[in-house]
């Protein structure tokens, strides 16, 4: 096919007349010539003027990627017909290679088309001079030009604008519609008002507006709280009306409380099934919540309580005495939560030793070793909670260097309540293994003196080791019975008594407490604690300028070891009163428990529970020791006797007043006899009696 036939083929019409593509490299005269040339050129999009003198060897391709032409294999003796009907085989010789000739013809026309652009136009950084044709790339078929012209006449394609648009100029679509246009416009208006500049003129109006808005918010909060309470009452459906159990089985049988005979049969048969016990605990708890509506007729509340206590003891592994003692501390549902929390170990916590490092530096060092941790809470600035660790947390170089101490979070509380100050004289009556002692030494910044005492001499070894490891230089270790301490040493500014107890608050650590505690153990421990707290109070000097405080704490939750002991101390020492512990959380102590009434100030003490605060069960009370007042019981009568009484002077003249005094000779025998008794009591041999003393002894005989 000759070149004439190729140029006779009509070019396809453009979809829309547009300005030609010009490269930003065209400057000056070339740009002006290109503009004049495009006016005469064909409207075919993105095609450049072909250099007729060249034969496809030196053509410039300005596009970034070159499109590969489609290679078509023409059939033998194929003919190409022009628009005017003439065949284009004039210049083809018989011996010429038809395949190579066809390839040169069609490849030349394909190379003239610019390569297509792949991708999103918005992602391409275009300048104002670069105006690519937007829209999908079209593939032209030169054999069907007439069909394309007819289609273009029927349907007009509108191309997008050629001007460059920034991404920021486009308005983003709403992914999730939030409110109506009216509300959004109102919010915009409110924001405009809020953004208005505050001046002296509008300050009062804005203040009134804020106060009115605060009042409206408070009213809405009250209404929401009331509505929530009403919804809770409505949602509390009586399950007895429907034959539906707690698991949602509609056809389940109604709950039947076993009688005493049936319980004996269960025990004889080896005990009930675990699932049966769990279901029965839930049912009894539900009945006790509304006993008047849900209880069986003729059954007393005590029977239900005995049943759930027995089930708790068998399900969690307690003896029935301890299960009942702990059950009566809480409401029914909360009691089950308490027993359940005792089965879960408490979080691992460490205390930063501020004598050697800071908490931030320690946390960073442990994180670098693969320890996952975070601060315990806002109530302490030295505690860290460890979630997981790739290394043994008790054998890291930081631990061996004394940067931290493995210590339960509840053990921080007594020291925080005591709050020892620098240069004070402090006593820890039961200090082993030294967590609280070293904490106090750190708070005192290694000043003053801390006497660390423990009655068990074997435990002082671990106490001494921790003191040396943590670098506490102001601690004196001693081993005395705490009840002897007022005689051994006194005059302390502050005393910490972490008394020995039953350990009912740390059952998650020591499960043996469930079965090895009896009523006798609680009686003996309570008696010991009462003696120790009186000795701790007597060891404090009331004249202390900075102190005069005693903190009593136990790791128990029973009332016998906590409120009862504190109330006993208040009765026996009138110069002592309870003060606020300074702890920002925790429940108040009991002022009355099962018929026992305590001092109203006992509510200043604090209780901590594992199911509420996620720490070991603990109790903290803080006393303030004051000077003893020498008040006589007959002070009122003496004051009345001192008042002047009007008396007739003539009556006073007739009365003879006899003045009496002490007779030393008569009292000498009594004083000598009393001295002899004191010497005998001390084991000394008294001197022989005088004659007056002999007469007195004979008279008494």
Residue 277 has pLDDT above 70, yes or no: yes
Name the token pair of 81. Answer: 């017909």
Which is catalytic among the residues 472, 501, 535, 555? 555
Q: Half-sphere exposure of residue 462, counting CA atoms within 13 Å on the CB side?
A: 10
Band (pLDDT 50/70/90 cuts) for residue 278 is confident
pLDDT, residue 14, reads 60
pLDDT, residue 538, reads 93
Q: What is the pLDDT of residues 502-518, one digit of tens each?
A: 999 999 999 999 999 99
Q: Which residue has the higher pLDDT, 29 or 676?
A: 676
Distances (CA, A) of 330 to 325, 333, 336, 597: 10, 8, 9, 17
- Please check if 433 is assigned to a binding site: yes
Sequence-distant (≥ 6) Cβ neighbours of residue 141 within 8 angstroms: 148
Kindly state the average pLDDT of the residues 121-146.
48
Please name which of 121, 98, 138, 131 lies closest in space to residue 15, comparing C-alpha atoms: 138
Q: What is the pLDDT of residues 228-247, one digit of tens each?
A: 766 555 455 444 444 444 44
Distances (CA, A) of 519 to 339, 560, 618: 20, 11, 20
The percent of residues above 70 in pLDDT, for the chain, comes to 62
Band (pLDDT 50/70/90 cuts) for residue 601 is very high
What is the 3-state composition of the chain as percent helix, strand, coil, each rounded to the nearest 5?
40, 10, 50
DSSP 3-state assignment of 349?
strand
pLDDT, residue 472, reads 96
Residue 282 has pLDDT above 70, yes or no: yes
DSSP 639-655: HHHTS-----HHHHHHP
Band (pLDDT 50/70/90 cuts) for residue 71 is very low
- Please check if 432 is assigned to a binding site: yes
- Please check if 436 is assigned to a binding site: yes
When mean pLDDT is compared across 331-345, 583-597, 658-672, the lowest value belongs to 658-672
- How far apart, in whole angstroms, are the C-alpha atoms of residue 412 and residue 435? 9
Residue 681 has pLDDT above 90, yes or no: no
Residue 67 has pLDDT above 80, yes or no: no
Kindly state the average pLDDT of the residues 45-54.
45
The percent of residues above 90 in pLDDT, for the chain, comes to 43
- Please check if 481 is assigned to a binding site: yes
Kindly state the average pLDDT of the residues 452-471.
95
- Please check if 248 is assigned to a binding site: no
Residue 109 burial (CB count, 10 A): 15
Q: Which residue has the higher pLDDT, 378 or 203?
A: 378
DSSP 3-state assignment of 451?
strand
Band (pLDDT 50/70/90 cuts) for residue 198 is low
pLDDT, residue 411, reads 94
Q: Which residues pair with 389 in a beta bridge?
A: 371
Given a contact cutoff of 8 angstroms between Cβ atoms, the answer to whether 336 and 246 are in contact is no
Q: Domains (ranges, CATH) in the chain?
A: 1-158 (no CATH), 260-341 (no CATH), 408-625 (3.40.50.150), 664-700 (no CATH)
Q: What is the pLDDT of residues 380-415, one digit of tens each?
A: 999 999 999 999 999 999 999 999 999 999 999 999
Kindly state the average pLDDT of the residues 195-203.
63
Residue 474 burial (CB count, 10 A): 17
Name the token pair of 512. Answer: 């043996």
- How far apart, in whole angstroms, are the C-alpha atoms of residue 370 and residue 465? 27
- Please check if 55 is assigned to a binding site: no
Q: Which helix (H) or strand (E) holds 456?
A: none
Kindly state the average pLDDT of the residues 98-115.
49
Sequence-distant (≥ 6) Cβ neighbours of residue 99 within 8 angstroms: 73, 74
DSSP 682: T
> b/e string for 366-379 if b means 16 or more Cβ within 10 A?
beeeebebeebeee
- How far apart, in whole angstroms, are the C-alpha atoms of residue 258 and residue 320? 18
Given a contact cutoff of 8 angstroms between Cβ atoms, the answer to whether 624 and 617 are in contact is no
Burial class of residue 174 (count of CB atoms within 10 Å of its CB; 0-12, 13-18, 19+): exposed
Please name which of 28, 12, 4, 162 lies closest in space to residue 92, comparing C-alpha atoms: 4
When mean pLDDT is compared across 1-5, 316-320, 669-673, the lowest value belongs to 1-5
Band (pLDDT 50/70/90 cuts) for residue 17 is low
DSSP 267-334: HHTT---HHHHHHHHHHHHHHHHTHHHHSPTT--HHHHHHHHHHHHHHHHT--HHHHHHHHTTS-HHH
Kindly state the average pLDDT of the residues 38-51.
47
State residue 515 phi and psi, 5-degree precision.
-120, -15
Band (pLDDT 50/70/90 cuts) for residue 206 is confident
What is the Cα Rg of the chain in Å?
Answer: 50
Q: Which helix (H) or strand (E) holds 623?
A: strand 618-625
Q: Which residue has the higher pLDDT, 270 or 134?
A: 270
- How far apart, in whole angstroms, are the C-alpha atoms of residue 626 and residue 663? 41
Interior angle at CA 342, CA 560 and CA 404, nearest 5: 95
What is the pLDDT of the chain when averaged over all its residues?
75
pLDDT, residue 339, reads 95
Name the token pair of 444. Answer: 């005192």
Residue 459 has pLDDT above 80, yes or no: yes
Given a contact cutoff of 8 angstroms between Cβ atoms, the answer to whether 482 and 430 are in contact is yes
Q: What is the pLDDT of residues 489-547, one digit of tens each?
A: 889 999 999 999 999 999 999 999 999 999 999 999 999 999 999 999 999 999 988 88
When mean pLDDT is compared across 94-103, 274-283, 317-326, 343-352, the lowest value belongs to 94-103
Given a contact cutoff of 8 angstroms between Cβ atoms, the answer to whether 593 and 571 are in contact is no
Kindly state the average pLDDT of the residues 649-676.
65
Residue bearing tokens 């601060």: 375
When mean pLDDT is compared across 11-15, 217-221, 693-697, the lowest value belongs to 11-15
Please name which of 123, 129, 122, 141 lies closest in space to residue 62, comparing C-alpha atoms: 129
pLDDT, residue 22, reads 52
Name the token pair of 518. Answer: 């009896």
Is 478 a residue of the active site? Answer: no
Q: Which residue has the higher pLDDT, 467 or 201?
A: 467
DSSP 343: T
When mean pLDDT is compared across 247-251, 475-479, 599-603, 685-689, the lowest value belongs to 247-251
pLDDT, residue 160, reads 45
pLDDT, residue 621, reads 97
DSSP 3-state assignment of 348?
strand
State residue 288 phi and psi, 5-degree precision.
-65, -25
pLDDT, residue 654, reads 53
pLDDT, residue 101, reads 52
Q: Which residue has the higher pLDDT, 342 or 226?
A: 342
Residue 252 has pLDDT above 70, yes or no: no
Q: What is the pTM assigned to this prediction?
A: 0.58
DSSP 176: S
Residue 46 has pLDDT above 90, yes or no: no
pLDDT, residue 695, reads 78
- How far apart, in whole angstroms, are the C-alpha atoms of residue 394 and residue 404? 10
Q: Which helix (H) or strand (E) holds 351?
A: strand 348-352
Query: Could you tell me where the beta strands, DSSP code E, fall in 358-491?
Result: 371-375, 383-389, 404-406, 425-428, 449-453, 475-478
When mean pLDDT is compared across 111-125, 365-379, 469-483, the lowest value belongs to 111-125
């Amino acid at each position: 096919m000759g070149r004439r036939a190729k140029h006779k083929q009509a070019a396809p019409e453009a979809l829309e007349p547009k300005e030609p593509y010009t490269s930003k490299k065209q400057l000056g005269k070339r740009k002006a010539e290109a503009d004049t040339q495009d006016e005469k050129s064909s409207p075919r999009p993105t095609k450049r003027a072909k250099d007729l003198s060249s034969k496809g060897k030196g053509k410039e391709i300005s596009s970034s990627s070159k499109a590969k032409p489609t290679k078509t294999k023409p059939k033998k003796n194929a003919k190409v017909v022009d628009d005017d009907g003439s065949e284009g085989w004039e210049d083809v010789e018989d011996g010429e290679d038809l395949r190579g000739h066809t390839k040169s013809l069609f490849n030349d026309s394909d190379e003239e088309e610019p390569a297509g652009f792949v991708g999103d136009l918005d992602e391409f950084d275009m300048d104002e001079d670069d105006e690519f044709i937007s829209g999908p790339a079209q593939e032209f078929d030169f054999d069907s030009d007439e069909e394309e012209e007819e289609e273009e006449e029927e349907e007009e394609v509108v191309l997008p604008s050629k001007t460059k648009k920034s991404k920021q100029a486009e308005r983003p679509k709403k992914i999730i519609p939030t409110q109506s246009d009216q509300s959004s416009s109102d919010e915009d208006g409110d924001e405009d008002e809020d953004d208005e500049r505050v001046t002296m003129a509008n300050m009062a109006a804005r203040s009134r507006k804020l106060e009115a808005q605060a009042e409206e918010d408070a009213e809405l909060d009250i209404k929401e709280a009331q509505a929530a309470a009403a919804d809770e009452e409505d949602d509390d459906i009586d399950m007895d009306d429907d034959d539906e159990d707690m698991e949602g089985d509609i056809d389940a049988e109604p709950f039947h409380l076993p009688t005493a005979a049936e319980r004996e049969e269960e025990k004889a048969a080896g005990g009930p099934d675990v699932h049966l016990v769990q279901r029965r605990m839930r049912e009894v708890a539900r009945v006790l919540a509304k006993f008047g509506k849900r209880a069986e007729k003729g059954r007393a509340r005590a029977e239900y309580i005995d049943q759930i206590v027995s089930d708790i003891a068998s399900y969690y592994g307690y003896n029935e005495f301890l299960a009942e003692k702990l059950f009566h501390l809480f409401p029914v549902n909360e009691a089950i939560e308490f027993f359940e929390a005792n089965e879960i170990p408490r979080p691992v916590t460490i205390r930063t030793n501020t004598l050697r490092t800071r908490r931030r530096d320690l946390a960073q060092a442990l994180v670098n070793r693969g320890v996952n941790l975070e601060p315990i809470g806002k109530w302490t600035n030295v505690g860290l909670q460890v979630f997981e660790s790739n290394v043994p947390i008790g054998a890291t170089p930081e631990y061996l260097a004394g940067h931290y101490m493995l210590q339960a979070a509840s053990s921080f509380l007594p020291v925080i309540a005591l709050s020892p100050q620098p240069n004070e004289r402090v006593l820890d009556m039961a200090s082993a293994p030294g967590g609280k002692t070293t904490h106090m030494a750190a708070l005192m910044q290694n000043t003053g003196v801390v006497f660390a005492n423990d009655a068990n001499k074997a435990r002082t070894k671990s106490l001494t080791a921790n003191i040396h490891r943590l670098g506490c230089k102001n601690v004196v270790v001693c081993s005395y019975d705490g009840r002897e301490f007022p005689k051994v040493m006194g005059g302390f500014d502050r005393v910490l008594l972490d008394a020995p107890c039953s350990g009912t608050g740390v059952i998650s650590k020591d499960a043996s407490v469930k079965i090895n505690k009896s009523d006798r153990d609680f009686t003996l421990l309570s008696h010991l604690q009462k003696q120790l707290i009186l000795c701790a109070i007597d060891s404090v000097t009331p004249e202390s300028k900075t102190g005069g405080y005693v903190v009593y704490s136990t790791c128990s939750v029973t009332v016998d070891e906590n409120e009862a002991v504190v109330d006993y101390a208040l009765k026996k020492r009138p110069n002592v009163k309870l003060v606020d512990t300074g702890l920002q959380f925790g429940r108040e102590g009991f002022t009355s428990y099962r018929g026992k009434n305590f001092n109203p100030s006992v509510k200043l003490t604090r209780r901590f529970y594992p199911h509420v605060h996620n720490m070991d069960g603990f109790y903290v009370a803080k006393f303030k020791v004051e000077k003893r007042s020498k008040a006589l019981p007959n002070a009122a009568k003496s004051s009345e006797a001192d008042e002047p009484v009007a008396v007739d002077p003539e009556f006073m003249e007739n009365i003879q007043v006899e003045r009496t005094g002490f007779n030393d000779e008569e009292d000498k025998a009594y004083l000598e006899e009393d001295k002899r008794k004191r010497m005998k009591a001390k084991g000394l041999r008294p001197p022989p009696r005088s004659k007056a003393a002999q007469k007195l002894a004979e008279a008494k005989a």
